[in-house]
Amino acid sequence: MKRYFIELSYNGRNFFGWQRQPNDRSIQEEIETAITKMHSNQTIKVVGCGRTDTGVHAQNFILHVDLPEVSDLEKLKFKLNRMLTASIAIQQIYEVDCDMHARFSATKRTYRYYIHHHKNPFNNQLSWHVQHKLDIDAMNHTAEQLIGTKDFTSFSKLHTDVKTNICTVFHAFWKQSEEGLYFEICADRFLRNMVRAIVGTLVDVGTKKIEPQSINQILASKNRSAASTSVPAHGLFLWKVEYQ
């Protein structure tokens, strides 16, 4: 058996996240079903670089799978793309060392969250419509306070099964885009709901509902109710996964 990394993109609108669910449609199930059919219905399992929630998208998602040696990886990619729904696109397949792990070998993950200001029927499933004027300078000043190794309990979904809420953020910033703006954050790991809670808090800074300097008190409180409401899932993309 050989281990392969598969890079893919997906529109999460019609899925209940990446991870296989007992009664709901998931990206993982769609891919496992397709690869299993290609191997005479011998059950094939894949392991993702993480999990995205219901409605969240991925520009760059990595999974690993163990398969009998594949002689033509381009042909495998072509067949998988033919079998999978239009919402999932296989971008690349390549062999890796057998000890490479899609989740545990990843060293950095980058997310982007998109916001648009003017009503647009063509991107309202991929970006959050915010009509209010936002103070981007204040939002960026606040985002800078997130950089470093910190406890992000205040931005985590409650009652998760992780051992620690400590994450190291490498960069976090807002940038203007053609349609509006996006927030980009890169860290070694993310907690459940963390990015959407951070974006909600930063948007409240941008609308002057909360002061930029309050971010440190929010972090120190280790209390989810101290941070703002999470923003909608459809503006969030897993943008990049990096390995060393």
Which residues carry out catalysis? 53
Count of residues making up the chain: 244
Question: Parallel, antiparallel, or unpaired for β 128-129 and 106-116?
Answer: parallel
Could you tell me the CA-to-CA distances from 223 to 32, 81, 155 in Å, in that order? 38, 44, 8
28 contacts 18 by C-beta, under 8 angstroms: yes
Helices (H) and strands (E) in the chain, counts: 5, 10
Structure tokens at 109: 């993950």
Could you say which DSSP state residue 189 is in?
A: -
CA-CA distance, 74 to 88, in Å (whole number)? Answer: 17
Let me know the angle formed at the C-alpha of 163 by 204 and 197, rounded to the nearest 5 degrees.
Answer: 10
